[in-house]
Chains A and B, each alone.
Chain A
């Protein structure tokens, strides 16, 4: 997994949740305080803006870990 992608996701999430978060590839959204289903929608769109991408419909579905989200981002950028 691309660590630079994870770092940028970390910044986006930290800014949206108004807190310092530390994300790794195996971080689960449920483990991050404030990362609920509403925040997740904002995070998905904010990530699209940050990377200038549009997720495919299927890639908007729930993901288990931040690493999986990062892989979807990288796939959309490729």
Chain B
């Protein structure tokens, strides 16, 4: 294995400038250097004529968290650099911004945010609150500018809804048509793509919570207007969902009325950089500059621990707060994959070790077939990434490298600066947000694949409506399309079984807290039947949610333990477990079952489980109830709402 050639451009360029060397060394102490420091390095580098370096450090300013003042300074630096030497960028675009409030700051920030996304923007700003005139007038300066994109940026105050309106639909439709007619004007007068900021609903209301039930209240009408515009936008107009963005940032931060009163700043300056970043991401997506492939590390990225050392049973995946966080991250990646984002693996591992969790781990969400390419070997990661880019026939600048190890991330940043390398937080529960916050996966419209899937969405939506209407429990159960996988305990399921046995309080017939070693012993003891149940329904995979342990006592099997995770109580899951117990007992020539209910403070919900399954009560003493079931007389317990699920199928 050879070390990669370190083409440390930054180090090379600093030769001869002690100040620059010192600053760069200071920046190297942190994975995310202080943005002010990055800006300072950029300025010094530019003074020394290291233009490429200067621009590279300027880009790093934009990576959060960066205060407004540093953004504005960096935007000013970008403008002054560009006057002397245009930056190299993937695309040069002309963008017209037509707003209803003071948008000068947004213009300069947008230029910087777009530059971070490899776009060299020239921006035209319409006159203050003159968006109507300039968009409607074919002879306006805006159209003379010949924009590639027109961004319409109104604030909610630009909508003239009354506090309360009687003819809600009429008023909303009329207001919507005011905006769509601006879209029509843009189409008539230019070939520009249209980007519309939607309306941010203010956090305070005179109506209180009543507003949610009053369609004619101003806030509700703005909500309807946003929906109507989204519908009208269809494939042709891009929407920046400002209302969602503002909610995510906190609307109390988004609205700083002091600056509205001072100079008609409708978006608080503190949150304006994020609006610029999100708008730039939508432009980048439309310009075809979104990332196409996520290259994933495995150990401590897709599961906790090291599979080659800890073994398949030892890694953290499912069961427990850390393991569940990795499952959630896998589910997010899977959702991106279904949107057409490629997933690939670059892992330093033996190939067989690396593949095993995807083939055999019960809680893996990702399967081998989800990866477009899979590289597990002992090459350095830059070599693997170059190989992947070549194999998948995409540019390095389409790759996003996701690795928990800061040293690997730094290596990629140095050796392959075209690759996007987001910083991951120490806890896996933060991985989804970290990846989503890169804004690297904006798509301008649904693809053919997505459209195919939307058919499925439609049928699902229809099914949902049915479920909502189903009045009986039976109809509800049937509507869930439940599938169960019932299997004896094994090494992989044991940790989750131990967890459920240790903590399940409600639907737990006996609440016997067997130790992990006892549970492992039952697994190999012929006197015992052990069963686990995994449940899926059309909403997703619930994982391992049921455990049953039964012990043979001559003529009958006594159910030592029967428990269900609280999330699947009331879905007839216990029937499926008992059905399998009946079959297992019969196969051993045993025809009778005995069940025991031991009351605790929390398991009242379990009291009638056996009675409901058709067991006969044979004894009650101090709350303890003993039940019996004769399989030859009553037949195998039926489970009509749950189908079996084959282990390797994806159905």
Contacts and interface: CB of A to CB of B under 8 A. Distances in A.
Interface of A: 12, 15-18, 37-38, 41-42, 44-46, 49-50, 54-55, 57, 60
B76 A17 contact: yes
Contacts of A37: 263
Task: Sort chain B's interface into a size bin.
Answer: 20 to 34
A16 B258 contact: no
Given A18-B77, A60-B258, A60-B262, A42 B72 contact: yes
Nearest to A45: B269
Contact of B67 (A17, A38, A49, A60): A49
Contacts of B72: 16, 42, 46
Given A42-B269, A55-B258, A57-B258, A12 B69 contact: yes
Contacts of B105: 38, 41-42
Given A15-B70, A42-B72, 19 more contacts: A15-B39, A16-B72, A16-B76, A18-B76, A18-B77, A37-B263, A38-B102, A38-B263, A41-B265, A41-B269, A42-B68, A42-B105, A45-B259, A45-B270, A46-B68, A49-B270, A50-B69, A57-B261, A60-B259
B258 A18 contact: no
14 contacts: A15-B69, A16-B72, A18-B73, A38-B105, A41-B105, A41-B262, A41-B263, A41-B269, A45-B69, A45-B269, A45-B270, A46-B68, A49-B68, A60-B258
B158 to A, nearest CB: 20
Nearest to B261: A57
Contacts of B259: 41, 45, 60
A44 B270 CA distance: 12
B191 to A, nearest CB: 32
Interface in B36-88: 39, 67-70, 72-73, 76-77, 79-80
A38 B104 CA distance: 8
* In the complex, the 4 A-B pairs of residues with the closest C-beta atoms, listed nearest first: A46-B69, A18-B76, A15-B73, A45-B269
A45 B263 CA distance: 12
Contacts of A57: 258, 261
Contacts of A15: 39, 69-70, 73
Interface in B334-390: none
Given A16-B76, A41-B263, A42-B105, A49 B69 contact: yes
B68 A45 contact: yes
Interface in B264-281: 265, 269-270
Contacts of B39: 15
A55 B105 CA distance: 20
Of B72, B77, B79, chain A has the most CB atoms within 10 Å of the CB of B72
Of A18, A46, A50, chain B has the most CB atoms within 10 Å of the CB of A18
Contact of A16 (B69, B262, B270): B69
Contacts of A42: 68-69, 72, 105, 269
B156 to A, nearest CB: 21
Contacts of B102: 38, 41
Contact of B80 (A18, A49, A54, A60): A18
Contacts of B73: 15-16, 18
B256 to A, nearest CB: 9
Nearest to A15: B73
Contacts of B68: 42, 45-46, 49
Nearest to A34: B76
A12 B259 CA distance: 19
Contacts of B262: 41, 44, 60
A41 B73 CA distance: 14
Contacts of A46: 68-69, 72
B19 to A, nearest CB: 16
Nearest to B74: A15
Interface string B89-105: 00000000000001011
A49 B70 CA distance: 10
Contacts of A18: 73, 76-77, 79-80
B55 to A, nearest CB: 16
A41 B105 CA distance: 10
Contacts of B79: 18
A17 to B, nearest CB: 7
Contacts of A38: 102, 104-105, 263
A54 B265 CA distance: 16
Contacts of A49: 67-69, 270
Nearest to B40: A15
A55 B259 CA distance: 11
A41 B70 CA distance: 15
Contacts of B70: 15
A68 to B, nearest CB: 16
A12 B76 CA distance: 13
Nearest to A44: B262
Contacts of A45: 68-69, 259, 269-270
Contacts of A50: 69
A8 to B, nearest CB: 11
Contacts of A60: 258-259, 261-262
A16 B77 CA distance: 9
Nearest to A43: B69
Interface in B228-285: 258-259, 261-263, 265, 269-270
Contacts of B80: 18
Contacts of B258: 54-55, 57, 60
Contacts of A17: 76
Nearest to A14: B73
A36 to B, nearest CB: 10
Nearest to B69: A46
A49 B259 CA distance: 14
Nearest to A18: B76
Contacts of B269: 41-42, 45
B127 to A, nearest CB: 14
A34 to B, nearest CB: 9
Contacts of A12: 69
B517 to A, nearest CB: 56
A38 B105 CA distance: 9
B266 to A, nearest CB: 13
A41 B256 CA distance: 13
A16 B11 CA distance: 28
Contacts of A41: 102, 105, 259, 262-263, 265, 269
B79 to A, nearest CB: 8
A50 B36 CA distance: 12
Interface in B457-474: none
A44 B69 CA distance: 10
